[in-house]
Copies of this chain bind each other. A is one copy, B any other.
Amino acid sequence: MPISDAPPLTRFLARLLRHSALSEEEQEVILSLNGQTVLASARRDIICPRTVDHASLVADGLVGRFEQMQDGERQITAIFIPGDLCDLHSVVCPTAEWALEAFGEAKILLLAHRDLRAVAMKHPAIAMAFWRDTVVDASILAKWVGNLGRRNARSRLAHLLCEIGLRIEQARLGSRTTFDFPITQTQLGDALGLSSVHVNRMIQALRRAELIERFDRRILIKDWDRLVAIAEFDPAFLLGDSAIDRIHDEPAGRFRSQENLRT
């Protein structure tokens, strides 16, 4: 009963092509993967993989990955938008169980590990692309560590908005300054390591400073440059669109001389 699976896979492929070069044939292989579409309803709907045998491709809506503390508190460790494959890592580490929750209503395409692994083993370039996708994810994660550890509430919020805006633009789902973002302030707090009360106050602060507007379910960034400045946002970590590595062969592997290093 597959509902139109094509669009999500097309988006996923587009995401891969943003950082990796794939041949016509390899692209075809990705597009011809098949999976099962499911709806993750309501907020708080949890997809809890436990030695699971499939990966989850976001077809529609917003999905968060989170850590649960013993006292029930949550920390969101990633936010996924349509075209993102939340679980790609689980293809190589099925035991790594990272819980997922849908923000609002989400549509998800489940892809079997078995198929993904087969594809990766057969096509080295696809394996590299999958690996690279995991690296992009990790890069964002490292940035979040920096934000949580060393920035105040205002900058953290600003940074998250910049990040999401840019990712949405890259994914052709909207512009960096105007996009849907159906997430509650409590969830925002869980992502930023803040209480929902304080998130509310920070949003108001940004609104009063004429930086953002209309903050329900939809963001409008009125002054991108100033928001970027507050966030100390440097888009490099998203590893997007740059000629990241179309280079499968680069100049001879000599070692760069480095100061501070003695052989």
Q: Does residue A262 face the partner (Cβ distance < 8 Å to B)?
A: yes
CA distance A98 to B99 in the complex (A): 27
Q: Does residue A202 face the partner (Cβ distance < 8 Å to B)?
A: no
Select which of B75, B97, B146 is within 8 A of A67 by beta carbon.
B146
C-beta contact mask, A92-136 vs B, less than 8 Å → 1, else 0? 111111100000000000101111010011001001101110111
Q: Is there an interface contact between A98 and B47, defined as CB atoms closer than 8 Å?
A: no
Measured as residues with beta carbon below 8 angstroms from the partner, the interface class of chain A is 35 or more
CA distance A45 to B38 in the complex (A): 51
Residues 212 to 263 of chain A near chain B (Cβ within 8 Å): 232, 236-237, 239, 242, 244-245, 248, 250, 252-256, 258, 260-263
Cβ–Cβ < 8 Å partners of A146 in chain B = 67, 69, 75, 77
Cβ–Cβ < 8 Å partners of A98 in chain B = 142
Q: Is there an interface contact between B262 and A150, defined as CB atoms closer than 8 Å?
A: no
C-beta contact mask, A1-41 vs B, less than 8 Å → 1, else 0? 10000000000000000010000000000000000111111
Select which of B52, B69, B128, B248 is within 8 A of A127 by beta carbon.
B128
Known interface pairs A141-B138, A142-B65, A262-B38; A193-B148 also in contact (CB < 8 Å): yes
Cβ–Cβ < 8 Å partners of A37 in chain B = 263
Known interface pairs A38-B263, A95-B239, A135-B92; A143-B67 also in contact (CB < 8 Å): yes
Minimum distance in angstroms from A195 CB to a CB of chain B: 11
List 8 A-B pairs, minimum CB-CB distance, nearest first. A149-B193, A112-B253, A114-B253, A67-B146, A148-B148, A138-B138, A75-B149, A131-B131
Residues of chain A at the chain B interface (Cβ within 8 Å): 1, 19, 36-41, 45-48, 52-54, 65, 67, 69-70, 73-75, 77-78, 89, 92-98, 110, 112-115, 117, 120-121, 124, 127-128, 130-132, 134-139, 141-146, 148-151, 190, 192-193, 232, 236-237, 239, 242, 244-245, 248, 250, 252-256, 258, 260-263
Subset of 17 A-B contacts with CB under 8 Å: A36-B255, A39-B261, A53-B256, A67-B142, A69-B232, A73-B150, A75-B149, A93-B244, A95-B244, A96-B139, A96-B237, A112-B255, A124-B127, A127-B131, A131-B131, A134-B134, A141-B142
**Sample of 4 further A-B pairs with CB below 8 A, known A45-B261, A53-B256:** A19-B93, A52-B256, A54-B256, A97-B236
